[in-house]
Structure formats: structure tokens, C-alpha cells
Amino acid sequence: MTNKMPALLKKNGARGITLDSAPRPSCGRSEVLIRIQKTGICGTDLHIYAWDEWAQSRVHPPFIVGHEFVGVIEAVGEGVDGFAPGEQVSGEGHIGCGHCYFCRTGQGHICRKVEIIGVDRDGCFAQFMSLPQSNVWKVRPGIPPEVAAIFDPLGNAMHTVMAQPVAGKTLAIVGAGAIGLMACKIARAAGALRVLVVEPQAQKRAMAVEFGAEDAYDPAQTGWFEEFAKKTSDGVGADVVLEISGSLAGIRNAFEMVRPGGEVALLGIPSNPVTLNLSEAIIFKGVTVRGINGRLMYESWYQCERFLMEHKLDLSPLITHQMPYQRYEEAFDLLQRGQAVKIILDWE
Ligand SMILES: NC(=O)c1ccc[n+]([C@@H]2O[C@H](COP(=O)([O-])OP(=O)(O)OC[C@H]3O[C@@H](n4cnc5c(N)ncnc54)[C@H](O)[C@@H]3O)[C@@H](O)[C@H]2O)c1
Ligand SMILES: [Zn+2]
Ligand SMILES: [Zn+2]
């Protein structure tokens, strides 16, 4: 057997990624070697592809890109218990240090020494990837492989929705990209009374309604805010706002949309520092703000599994394209032009 494999690499500090051969990873102690079946492309990969300011300050080429995947266990290393070749798995891409205060108090998602696959170490856009057994997640039968491949962003959506009570609440979601749309469906399944969405792209607004939003507004349309406010109790604003766009305008709108005493969860990552009028946006309104990083390990994973197993989340409309990995350039181009929501690359 050859010890080379195809992989999508960020080779150097310039725009683009390259399909090349890379050494097949070894399967060290407590590690699981995974033969990749399908991978999802996400916004982080687009930043790495574009080699923007964030990518330049964060990643160190060369490395294999990608963190959303499903695959089959090829081999297990020494000391691995509870996993066997042939099992279908996904995995948590944030590898905590395992022994700091955060890791030891159930907050591994904010470990300061976290290593992220496809960012800080080799990722899943390849035929094989090895992962510590602690991060490997068995896929339950009945969960479609293309959905298992996007447990990572689904877990982001789950974490954002579940970070505060939503049952019986009027919820607003800013940004109906892949994660915002997932959040829409999760929020309805979790009992949100009403979900109102703001999203500039018409196709995604239509999808948000399909995913359970009562209305979806175009922030470029005059009067959208008044229309939105009318849908909230006494016109005072949403009980909970989930910011999932990462845009400056979206973040500012989130604080306009929340009612006094309401809650804002921030998942979207702005490319630049944001200025806000804190006294008006948060202090005088008595707003509670939460930063959301990654997924709770592994509460968010169990929640995703349960919601999927109970058939409460049909995510198939979200996966607008599936194509072989060799067509990655086309996939990145479609995503950059906003003509796709979630694209799955096939590695088999
Ligand atoms: N905190 C974390 O751990 C974490 C993890 C994953 C993703 N993220 C971030 O979450 C955000 C969403 O991720 P995604 O994969 O769904 O990205 P995405 O690009 O698919 O979605 C973003 C959406 O926001 C919309 N948008 C742009 N400007 C807007 C505005 N002014 N108002 C409302 N919507 C607007 C875009 O049209 C797009 O549909 C990104 O910023 C991403 O970097 C954060
Ligand atoms: Zn991602
Ligand atoms: Zn740690």
C-alpha cells in the first residue's frame, strides 16, 4: 500500500488551496485513523482559501485544510478502547489540551491551548486523517452520511440556540447562512414560539421560511425593522437574538432587535473590531450578552444526535451541492459567490 494520499493543502501564504499528494498520517497511541468519506466546506475554509487578514494572522502553511467530515475507521492505535475498524464516525475538531482548568471543568471548548483540525493541524480534506479517540464521534445508524459530515456546524447552531432558554420565546436570527438556517430549525424544534430572520440574500430568506421562520427580512429594504418589531410582543423587540452573520451591520442590528432585558448570543465572527454604543445597546437596555465558541463537548453533540434521531431536523435542503473532491475549485467559487449554502465534497 502506498503511503501517499490525495489532500487539499494550504501550501503557502497566498490565495487558493492545492490538490496534491501528502503523506498518509500515522495512527499513534490513543489515535484513530479515519478513511474520509465526505467533508463539508465552511466559512473558515473560505477565509483560508482567500488568505484574508484573519487567515494570515492565524494559520501556518503548509497544512491540510478542512474540519467537517464523516468517515470510516481504518485502524486504531495502541490504547484505543471502544472503537473498531469499519465503524462510521465524525469528530470534534477542537482538540483541547485535556489538563487545563477549562478542560477539567467541562469547558474544553474554551481551552486556551486548543488545536483545531484544518486550522492549527492537519484537517480532513484528504483521504485519511488521524484524530485522538477522545474526539471521535460514532454516527448512529439512520443519520445520513452527508448530515453526519456537518455535525460540526450543526453543533455550533445547537450551542447557540441552547445557550439560553428559547421555549415560548420570540427569537430573532441575524444571518441565514448554513448555521443560521440550522439554528432556525433547532429553535422551532426546541419550542421557540416564533422565529424572525434577517438576511440579505433572497434565496436564503426563502429557505429560512421553509426552515420554520415566520418571516425573513431584507436589511436593505426600508421599513424592515418596523415590520419586524410589529411581530414581537407589544412591539418591544425579540426576547432572544442570535447573531450568526458576523457582519458589522448584523451585529449592530442584533442589539436594536433585542427587547429591553433580552438576551443576545454572538456566534458570528466579525473580520474587524466592532464599535458599539454600549450604553444604548446593552447597559440601559439591561441586555445579557453571550459569546458562543464552538460546541460544548460533548453536550452539543448529544443534543444534535437526539434532535436528528427524533426526526425533528431535516437538513437535506441545506446541502445544495455534492461533488467529488477533485471539483473543489468549483465548490469554493460557488460558495464565494453566495450561490450555494452547504457543499459536500465526496472522497470515495
Ligand atoms: N464562534 C464560533 O465558534 C463559530 C463557529 C463557526 C462559524 N462561526 C461564524 O458564524 C458565522 C456564520 O457562519 P456560516 O457558516 O453560517 O456562514 P455563512 O457565510 O454561510 O452565513 C452568514 C450569513 O450572513 C448573511 N449576512 C451578511 N450580512 C448580513 C446582515 N447585515 N444581516 C443579516 N445577515 C447578513 C450572509 O448573507 C450569509 O447568509 C460566520 O461569521 C462564521 O465565521 C463562528
Ligand atoms: Zn466549520
Ligand atoms: Zn485545556
| Beta carbon of 250 within 6 Å of any ligand 1 atom | yes
Instruction: Return mean pLDDT, the chain.
Output: 97
The rounded Å distance from CA 177 to ligand 1 centre is 6
The pLDDT assigned to 325 comes to 98
The rounded Å distance from CA 115 to ligand 3 centre is 10
Tens of pLDDT along 193-246?
999 999 999 999 999 999 999 999 999 999 999 999 999 999 999 999 999 999
The pLDDT assigned to 19 comes to 98
Choosing from 109, 197, 247 the residue with most ligand 1 atoms within 8 A of its CB, the one to mutate for a pocket test is 247
| Beta carbon of 108 within 6 Å of any ligand 1 atom | no
The pLDDT assigned to 272 comes to 84
The pLDDT assigned to 178 comes to 97
Lowest mean pLDDT among 56-65, 130-139, 267-276: 267-276
Please say if the pLDDT value at position 133 is more than 90. yes
Place of cell 493541524: 121
Give the separation between CA 209 and CA 199, rounded to whole angstroms.
Answer: 11
Residue of the CA atom closest to atom 40 of ligand 1: 268
Tens of pLDDT along 171-208?
999 999 999 999 999 999 999 999 999 999 999 999 99
Of 300, 31, 339, the C-alpha closest to 160 is 300
Please say if the pLDDT value at position 247 is more than 70. yes
Residue of the CA atom closest to atom 19 of ligand 1: 177
Tens of pLDDT along 10-47?
999 999 999 999 999 999 999 999 999 999 999 999 99
Q: How confident is the model at residue 144 (pLDDT cuts 50, 70, 90)?
A: very high
Residue of the CA atom closest to atom 42 of ligand 1: 268
The pLDDT assigned to 1 comes to 58
Please say if the pLDDT value at position 248 is more than 80. yes
| Beta carbon of 199 within 6 Å of any ligand 1 atom | yes
Tens of pLDDT along 86-110?
999 999 999 999 999 999 999 999 9
First to last CA, the chain: 17
Catalytic site includes residue 47: yes
The rounded Å distance from CA 88 to ligand 3 centre is 27
Please say if the pLDDT value at position 2 is more than 80. no
Other CB atoms closer than 10 Å to residue 338's CB: what's the count? 12
Q: Which of 18, 39, 47, 94 is catalytic?
A: 47
> Rounded to the nearest 5°, which phi and psi values hold at 322?
-135, 130
Q: Which of 44, 160, 170, 232 is catalytic?
A: 44
Whose atoms come closest to the Cα of 341: which ligand? 1
The pLDDT assigned to 227 comes to 98
Place of cell 426526526: 311
Please say if the pLDDT value at position 339 is more than 80. yes
Please say if the pLDDT value at position 118 is more than 70. yes
Which atom in ligand 1 lies closest to the alpha carbon of residue 180? 16
Percentage of the chain surpassing pLDDT 90? 97
Catalytic site includes residue 275: no
Residue of the CA atom closest to atom 43 of ligand 1: 269
CA angle 110, 304, 127 (to 5 degrees): 80
The pLDDT assigned to 318 comes to 96
SS3 letters across 109-151? HHCCCCEEECCCECCCCECEEEEEHHHEEECCCCCCHHHHCCH
Beta carbons within 8 Å of 341's beta carbon, 6+ residues apart? 177, 178, 181, 204, 207, 318, 319, 320
Beta carbons within 8 Å of 230's beta carbon, 6+ residues apart? none
State which amino acid sits at residue 135.
N
The rounded Å distance from CA 155 to ligand 1 centre is 15
Percentage of the chain surpassing pLDDT 70? 100
Please say if the pLDDT value at position 292 is more than 90. yes
Beta bridge partners of 241: 172, 264
